[in-house]
Amino acid sequence: KAGVTQTPRYLIKTRGQQVTLSCSPISGHRSVSWYQQTPGQGLQFLFEYFSETQRNKGNFPGRFSGRQFSNSRSEMNVSTLELGDSALYLCASSPGGEVTNEKLFFGSGTQLSVL
Amino acid sequence: QQQVKQSPQSLIVQKGGISIINCAYENTAFDYFPWYQQFPGKGPALLIAIRPDVSEKKEGRFTISFNKSAKQFSLHIMDSQPGDSATYFCAAFLMNTGRRALTFGSGTRLQVQP
């Protein structure tokens, strides 16, 4: 089985721009979560999508948004980029559903640099 | 509010030694405690995990010890190898709500010297 695929691997943007990151979960997985990783704040939860619906959201401003498509692929968007948005953005997938499944599988992330 | 505190920040161990990383949590509602291993340029990978109704879980050279009353848990890596050099994150999870929001510790950079 292919793992979680995130594209692009690296991105360089300037302040004020917007960016869209993509995540393809493991085949058959219906839940996709996004995390931000920075040296200062560590790993922080952004949001989770299941069956095209946002099921849970972390404490990030509204500039951070996401969506999930019918094939479970997910995108996250950051608008009006700030320097502090520079981070590794990680996507994680799991089978999802009502039966809780603790095994999250992470992709290698998208490294975003905001200049 | 940091809900999961991890220590030490960095750790150097000789090959064959025991690596010990400690975590403490605040929210007693957490009911699942995984450890993740992350190599440079890669995402975190699940290493081992424990539920609070178990005091210890062992998988190969990796052992989690869990102390529910103290709200602490730790990772022990026996016979540490240079290939174990990575950053380790403890985490806590609210399984019962079905919400897959991991709260991570701040990470421990482990270096195993040959």
Give the Cα separation of A42 and A47 in Å (integer): 16
Residue B97 has what pLDDT? 63
- Tens digit of each residue's pLDDT (9 = 90 or more) over A30-57: 999 999 999 988 999 999 998 899 988 8
Nearest to A42 among B98, B100, B104 (CB): B104
Give the Cα separation of B13 and A95 in Å (integer): 37
Residue A97 has what pLDDT? 64
Residue A55 has what pLDDT? 85
Q: Report chain A's mean pLDDT, rounded to a whole number.
A: 92
CA-based nearest distance B101→chain A, Å: 6
- Tens digit of each residue's pLDDT (9 = 90 or more) over A75-89: 999 999 999 999 999
Give the Cα separation of B104 and B91 in Å (integer): 4
Give the Cα separation of B37 and B48 in Å (integer): 9
Q: Report chain B's mean pLDDT, rounded to a whole number.
A: 92
Give B15 or B30, the one with higher predicted confidence.
Answer: B15
Nearest to B102 among A4, A31, A104 (CB): A104
Residue B101 has what pLDDT? 78
- Tens digit of each residue's pLDDT (9 = 90 or more) over B52-102: 899 999 999 999 999 999 999 999 999 999 999 999 999 998 766 656 678
Give CA separation, A44 vs A60, B59, B103, in Å.
Answer: 9, 27, 7
Number of A to B CB contacts under 8 A, please give it.
Answer: 57
Residue B94 has what pLDDT? 77
Chain B hits for A31, CB-CB cut-off 8 Å, are: 100
Going by pLDDT thresholds of 50, 70 and 90, the confidence category of residue B14 is: very high
CB contact under 8 Å between B43 and A92, yes or no, is: yes
Residue A112 has what pLDDT? 97
What are the tokens at B53?
């109704």
Residue B98 has what pLDDT? 56
CB proximity B103 to A under 8 Å? yes
Residue A89 has what pLDDT? 98
CA-based nearest distance B49→chain A, Å: 9
